[in-house]
Amino acid sequence: DGGITQSPKYLFRKEGQNVTLSCEQNLNHDAMYWYRQDPGQGLRLIYYSQIVNDFQKGDIAEGYSVSREKKESFPLTVTSAQKNPTAFYLCASSLGQGLHEKLFFGSGTQLSVL
Amino acid sequence: EDQVTQSPEALRLQEGESSSLNCSYTVSGLRGLFWYRQDPGKGPEFLFTLYSAGEEKEKERLKATLTKKESFLHITAPKPEDSATYLCAVQAPGGGADGLTFGKGTHLIIQP
């Protein structure tokens, strides 16, 4: 079955540590996205990528970094500069990046601080 | 700034008790309005896209409608498996899938 796989499901970060969240898709989609979801807030866009080796900052990119070396993969690194990293992180993809493109989401990674 | 407001924040219904969820928006020149369903601990799942005022779409017990200022998600004779958080998102002019603004969601509980 085609879909988006996020791992791990749960992740704990120590003070000053960088952690990387994995996102893989086998939908052959060009565009991929990272969203952050906090309780009582709407989804907020961190980074997105339309094609391999290219990505753009979203609304809350500070303290995060990404890479897009393969079409299928879009890992997110939460750096030590992100002072409030506890959240539910969602990876998504879409066939293109135009109007009316619906998003396909992974099952998310819950990141907590130790 | 584009805004999306969903109401109520939470809704508890008895099985079979029909109701509606609201999504009001202030985007000028709406390009598309999306409804997603999210189960606890999971990613959102696409339900509908609405493009213009007057448009309606249905899927099983759900019907989405759109006016120039708001969208409603009507749920008819709901079942416990309809319990979830329902998210609304709007797409602004010039915005692609990266230009979505999400509401905070309505947490719906259907009691047997």
Please judge whether B91 and A108 are an interchain contact, meaning their C-beta atoms are less than 8 angstroms apart.
no
Kindly state the average pLDDT of the residues A5-23.
95
- Determine the residue type at A60: I
How far is B68 from chain A, CA to nearest CA, in Å? 17
Q: How far apart are CA A100 and CA A112, in angstroms?
A: 33
- Please write the tens of the pLDDT for every residue from A41-86: 999 999 999 999 999 999 999 999 999 999 999 999 999 999 999 9
Q: Is B21 on the interface with A (CB under 8 A)?
A: no
The answer to whether A61 and A75 have CB atoms below 8 angstroms apart is no
Q: What is the pLDDT of residue B27?
A: 82
Across the A:B interface, residue pairs with CB atoms under 8 Å apart total 73
User: In whole angstroms, how far apart are CA A59 and each of A45, A64, A91, B7, B92?
Assistant: 6, 11, 15, 24, 15
Distance CA A73, CA B63 (A): 35
Gap between the Cα atoms of B35 and B63, Å rounded: 11
